[in-house]
Amino acid sequence: GSWGRPETCPPGQRLVSFRLRVEAPRGLWDDTAANAVAAICSGGSVLEGRGGPQGSWGNWSLPCPPGAGVCGLRTRLEPPQRGGDDTGLNDLDLYCCS
């Protein structure tokens, strides 16, 4: 794939919540899994990546507590399937700190 343009919160704000657009498994067809991410900044701005159109948006994550913001992340990746259908990114956790 290719990188999209960066999306950033306004100065002095932090990311506080996110959601993923995920395509459900398609059986024999090509699965794509996570295709886009959206995030909310502490001031309420919504950032949305330019990912693929496949899938449905999930629920927003619980927001970081007041005064805190995202300071770390963890990804869930599917390992190479050796001839099977590879999906790549399957899930995302963001961690809050103040």
pLDDT in tens, 26-72: 666 666 777 788 999 999 999 988 777 778 898 999 999 999 999 99
Q: How many CB atoms lie within 10 A of CB 79?
A: 6
Residue 8 belongs to a domain:
no
CATH of the domain at 59: 2.100.10.20
Total domains, the chain: 1
Residue 3 belongs to a domain:
no
Percentage, residues of the chain above pLDDT 90: 43
Residue 65 belongs to a domain:
yes
The residue range of the domain holding 92 is: 15-78+87-97
Encoded tokens for 35: 């295709």
Please list, residue by residue across 32-61, b when 16 or more beta carbons sit within 10 angstroms of its beta carbon and e when fewer do: bbbbbbbbbbbeeeeeebebeebbeeeeeb
Residue 49 belongs to a domain:
yes
